A and B are shown apart, each in its own frame.
Chain A
Amino acid sequence: AQSVAQPEDQVNVAEGNPLTVKCTYSVSGNPYLFWYVQYPNRGLQFLLKYITGDNLVKGSYGFEAEFNKSQTSFHLKKPSALVSDSALYFCAVRDVNDYKLSFGAGTTVTVRA
């Protein structure tokens, strides 16, 4: 079975400060990892993914994520947060041997001006 945990329901940061959204996962095989963002009354938008190779993945809107196999983590980061980054962020995992995508519960990010 595969699962994702996002330990923080909410993350609050000031604009211009670094933003980190945490994610840990569990799969039986090797993982494919994804981050999505959801704005109010919208569907999910893809940010980035880890397949293999370099542990640091760069994505859309200045976001990046670091894959850590030993800690089974895939934390999302942005060096300097913007008010417009305020949204609901989802981490998702898929085992390489499965087509089902499992999502975490989501983390609400609020960036204050």
Chain B
Amino acid sequence: KAGVTQTPRYLIKTRGQQVTLSCSPISGHRSVSWYQQTPGQGLQFLFEYFSETQRNKGNFPGRFSGRQFSNSRSEMNVSTLELGDSALYLCASSLSPVTNYNEQFFGPGTRLTVL
């Protein structure tokens, strides 16, 4: 079974631009979560989607948004990029949203560099 895939793997953008990251979950997984990983802040939860609905949101500004499609694929968008948005963005999928003890399976991440 294929794992979680994220595209692109690397991105370089300049301040003020916007960016869209894509995540394809493991087949059959319906919950997708996004995380930001930086050396200073560690792993921070961005948001979680299930059945095209955002179910949870972390403490990030409104510049960070996401969506989920009917096939469970998810996209994350960051508008008006700032230098501090440089990070590894990780997507994770899990099997069932009903029971929240399911482990998450992570993709390799998208490395975003903002110049």
Question: Chain A interface (Cβ within 8 Å of chain B)?
Answer: 32, 34, 36, 41-46, 49, 51, 90, 94, 96, 98-106
Question: Chain B interface (Cβ within 8 Å of chain A)?
Answer: 4, 33, 35, 42-43, 45, 48, 55-56, 58, 90, 92, 97, 100-101, 103-109
Other A-B pairs, 20, CB within 8 Å; known A100-B45, A100-B48:
A32-B101, A34-B103, A36-B106, A41-B108, A43-B4, A43-B107, A43-B108, A44-B106, A46-B103, A90-B43, A96-B100, A99-B48, A99-B56, A99-B97, A99-B100, A100-B56, A101-B33, A101-B45, A102-B45, A103-B43
Knowing A34-B103, A44-B90, A46-B103, the reply to whether A100 touches B58 (Cβ < 8 A) is: yes
Residue of chain A at shortest CB distance from B6: A43
Closest Cβ of chain B to A52, distance in Å, is: 8
Residue of chain B at shortest CB distance from A48: B103
**Residues of chain B with a CB closer than 8 A to A106's CB:** 42-43
A99 to B55, Cβ gap below 8 A?
yes
